[in-house]
Structure 1
Amino acid sequence: MNTIKALVVDDTIVYRKIVGDALKQMPGIEVVGTANNGKIALSKIKTLKPDLMTLDIEMPEMNGIELLQQLQHMESPPLVIMVSTLTHQGGELTLKALELGAFDVLPKPEEGTMAENMLKVKKNLEPIVRHIKRHKFGIIASPARSKPAVPGTARVRSPKAVSRPTQSKPTGIRSKSEIIGIGISTGGPNALTKMIPMLPKNFKVPILIVQHMPPVFTASLANSLNKKSALEVLEAKDGDTIKPGKVFIAPGGKQMKVVAGADGLTRKIKITDDPPENSCKPSADYLFRSIAQHYVGRSTGVIMTGMGSDGSKGLVQMKNNGSVIIAQDEKTCTVYGMPKEPTESGIVDVIAPLEKIADEIVKTV
């Protein structure tokens, strides 16, 4: 009754074994089958009814994108984890997969022995499997298997959905925000694709985003958002000057923070290879701490959909230094993990559904 059934789909036998062995080492997981292309996978989904499927993108007969399009017509499709190569093309296709309802993306390990790569995959899969176990089969279908929230669906809520908790104000004088920091993870690419284009062209404040994604995929995300937004969106580089109206996304596999420029007036982005925090690299906590230090009383912290609690400690520091804190509400989160602790601890000023977050950000500047 408590077993999660998994299907492994990849056209390479080596990766089918690596991913399959990683899943088999986790208690409560039964690998019920494998497939080397989307056509065979579709047939096995109908007969085996897996709860979880790992999916490659580039395959013969029917690729991963085409399979996801087929799954949209299914009543109870499995939760899909993309296992993709770290290439520019792979990054763009992975974003397309996430738009089609894939739950999350993991990088294919490309160096090391099979045993080492199996452990890498296992480490990346474990938090996702824990999430599935916590929510079991009935609840995981809602955020992961449904199409991304768009205007007109049941997820869109009235302006009354915006909540401003009653709480004590931080000490000190607060000014209009001069920088926005955003922490986001699982479900983030789709949420950002909806939220960032809602910001007006004349938005004159820089935005720094930590999205938990592997290297290369963050560059693809920045390019995708840049095409859809009135603001310039780019993957941050070490030494970038933080300029008004620009959106900087932390590069996957690196840490990003704010530092003072040589003139003592400008603020720049510092990209480092510092260790992960909360098993995350980039980490929202790492970014938020630096914003708290350099923009006392002049910043907004935004925490959105994602697994885990990354960002919670950094937001406390931002709050203590006079920042406004905005959290995405539970109903519109793919995973209500990252906003949960800040909301329940009482440091959040505004709780808003996804479609209202851009408006709430604008109000703080």
Structure 2
Amino acid sequence: MSVALASCSTSSTTRQEPLRVMVVDDSVVIRGLISRWIASEPDMVVAASLRTGRDAVNQIDRVNPDVAVLDIEMPELDGISALPLLLAKKRNLIIIMASTLTRRNAEISFKALSLGASDYIPKPESTREPAAAETFHHDLIQKIRSLGAKVRRTVPATASPPLAPALERSREPQPRSPLAQPQLTHRAFSTQAPRVLVIGSSTGGPQALMALVTDLGPVIDRFPVLITQHMPPTFTTILAEHLARSSHRPAHEAVDGEIVRAGTIYLAPGGRHMRVARHGAEVAIALDDGPPVNFCKPAVDPLFTSAIDVWQGGVLAVVLTGMGSDGTRGGKEIVAAGGNVIAQDEASSVVWGMPGAAANAGICAAVLPLNQIAQKLVRVFSGDRS
């Protein structure tokens, strides 16, 4: 919520302009469906509905969108080829890649993230499947809204003359007043030695995870590392491969019943919650096909809470960039059991939803930029809990 202060010289308040969304897909059915969804939202408008990447590149200056939903497979110019051309014309454009759920498209989506796309979303194979279409609808609108918040513009609410062209072209996020940034309360690190690292992430998570594990070798070698990233099947398979390359350590989608050991990164497979449980003297992975938690499957909270049953106060949790608040409930329980929580800071997060919820709940022992989290983890697991 924002508060506008009125002076004696002006009585203007502020309102937010709708997000301008450009839909680019060669399927007239998908274009129409997405356009109708966007048009029904009070804070969004369809800036353009286009058939090819070439159309998008040619019209971006005229359309001036805040967000583009970009299909991968299109005639004339596909999405992965159009992506850098669009960003060259508008560097702060939010681009969400949309593709059907195949390994090839998942790999292209990962490449798109490295080229500057903000996020990806899998399209259902058929829009005639109500549940799949509803999930696609919900996830797409949430991604547009959350990612678009970074470029949302504020304009006078009074019906004054239109914005000057130079101002209209500027899409930079408005600077926040220092008064709008509450002071975060940090807890002291628990004196209990951590025995496991659990990580939760969502939007922006793949890039964050790959950067994090690059410098996490000393922790991975000595302690189990378990990750839940909000992601569909196939995508998690490829993410695990990327994590293995980035960390130079084994990483794979967790398998139900396998024993958890140090030296390996375990990733929750898309579409299944990952928990851990005692199996005699060992700790084993427990996957389940239960309902979504916090609208997510896999969800972070099931991993976090199950880790307490196994390692009690020896759990160290990290909450990385992502929408929503998944991980906060589990984080509270970890802290209550004597463990610790670290969150990514707002400036380095693609979306400061999940880490922001944890930070604002007062459960974090540290809130750090992404490039400082690995160093801190290495120190904490080595005995420095200051």
Instruction: Give your verdict on TM over 0.5.
Output: yes
Counterpart in 1 of 2:302?
A: 286
Asked whether 1:6 is paired with 2:26, we answer no
Q: Note if 1:131 corresponds to 2:146.
A: yes
Match of 1:94 in 2: 109
Aligned partner of 2:266 among 221, 229, 248:
248
Q: 1:29 to 1:72 in 2, by over 3 A?
A: closer
Structure 1's 167 and 51: CA in aligned 2 closer, same or farther, altered over 3 A?
A: closer
What are the superposed Cα offsets for residues 308-354 of structure 1, whole Å, 9 maximum, x if unpaired?
A: 11000000111111112111111111111111122222221122211
Residue deviations 1:132-173, cap 9 Å, x none?
A: 565552599679xxxxxxxxxxxxxxxxxxxx9653666xx6
Q: Provide the aligned length of Structure 1 versus Structure 2.
A: 341
Q: Tell me, what secondary structure is at the counterpart of 2:354?
A: coil
CA 343–53 in structure 1, closer or farther in 2 if over 3 Å, else same: same
Stretch moving more, 340-349 or 127-136: 127-136
CA distance in 2, matches of 1:126, 1:166: 33
Amino acid at match of 2:282: T
Q: Match for residue 327 of structure 1? A: 343
Are 2:315 and 1:299 aligned?
Answer: yes
- Specify the alignment match of 1:357 in structure 2: 373
Question: Conserved in 1, the CA contact under 8 Å of 2:188 and 2:365?
Answer: no
1:167 aligns with 2:167: no
Structure 1 Cα separation of the partners of residues 189 and 253 of structure 2: 34
Cα distance change on mapping 1:165 and 1:276 into 2, 3 Å: same
Which of structures 1 and 2 has the bigger CA Rg? 2
Mean alpha-carbon deviation: is it higher for 125-134 or for 265-274? 125-134
Counterpart residue number, 1:194: 211
**Secondary structure of 2:81's match?**
helix
SS state at 2:226 partner = strand
SS for the counterpart of 1:196 is helix
Q: Is the CA contact 1:49–1:78 (under 8 Å) kept in the aligned structure 2?
A: no
1:12-27 matches, within 5 Å, as 12-27=27-42
Instruction: Select between 65-74 and 131-140 the one with higher mean Cα deviation.
Output: 131-140
1:237 deviation in Å?
A: 1.7
2:288 corresponds in structure 1 to: 272
Structure 2 residue corresponding to 1:30, chosen from 45, 68, 79? 45
Q: 2:313 aligns to what SS in structure 1?
A: coil
Say whether the 8 Å CA contact 1:242–1:266 is kept in structure 2: yes
Query: Which residue pairs with 2:197 in the alignment?
Result: 180
Counterpart of 2:200, as a letter, is: G
SS at match of 1:310: coil
TM superposition shift of 1:68: 1.3
1:211 is matched with 229
Q: Could you tell me which residue of structure 1 aligns to residue 69 of structure 2?
A: 54
Letter in 1 for 2:331: L
Once the two structures are TM-superposed, the CA of residue 23 in structure 1 deviates from its matched residue by: 1.7
- SS of 1:33's partner is strand
Q: Is the 8 A contact 2:17 2:153 kept in 1?
A: no
**Alignment-derived partner of residue 6 in structure 2:** none
Alpha-carbon separation, structure 1, partners of 2:88 and 2:374: 31
Counterparts of 2:254 and 2:275, CA distance in 1: 10
Give the Cα–Cα distance (whole angstroms) in 2 for the partners of residues 142 and 235 of structure 1. Answer: 38
Residues 129 and 233 (structure 1 numbering): CA distance in 2 closer, same or farther, change over 3 Å? same
Displacement, 1:29? Answer: 2.1
Q: Indicate if the aligned counterparts of 1:23 and 1:122 stay in contact, CA closer than 8 A.
A: no
What is the deviation of 1:18?
A: 2.3
Unmatched segments (≥5 aa) in structure 1: 144-163
| 1:276 counterpart letter in structure 2 | P
Q: Are 2:106 and 2:235, in contact at CA under 8 Å, matched by a contact in 1? A: yes
- Please give the alpha-carbon distance, in whole angstroms, between the structure 1 residues aligned to 2:171 and 2:316: 33
TM-score (norm. length: structure 1): 0.86
Letter in 2 for 1:335: V
Q: Find the counterpart in structure 1 of residue 93 from structure 2.
A: 78
Task: Kindly provide the amino acid, as one letter, of the partner of residue 258 in structure 1.
Answer: V
Q: What CA distance in whole angstroms lies between the structure 1 residues aligned with 2:148 and 2:64?
A: 17
After the TM superposition, list the runs of 4 or more consecutive aligned residues in structure 1 that deviate by more than 6 angstroms: 139-143
SS at match of 1:137: coil
The equivalent residue for 1:347 is 363
| 3-state SS, counterpart of residue 296 of structure 1 | helix
Asked if 1:108 corresponds to 2:128, the answer is no
Q: Give me the TM-score of the superposition, normalised by structure 2.
A: 0.82
SS of 1:297's equivalent in the other structure is: helix
Corresponding letter in the other structure for 1:99: S
The separation in 2 between residues aligned to 1:141 and 1:294, in whole angstroms, is 48
Q: 2:60 and 2:135 mapped to 1: Cα distance?
A: 26
Work out the CA distance in 2 between the residues paired with 1:116 and 1:341: 28
Query: Using the alignment, how far apart are the partners of 1:188 and 1:141 within structure 2?
Result: 24
The Cα RMSD (Å) is 2.5
Residues 82-115 of structure 1, C-alpha deviations (whole Å, 9 max, x = no match) = 1111111111111111122222221111135187
The answer as to whether partners of 1:71 and 1:77 remain within 8 angstroms in 2 is no
2:254 to 236, 242, 246: 236
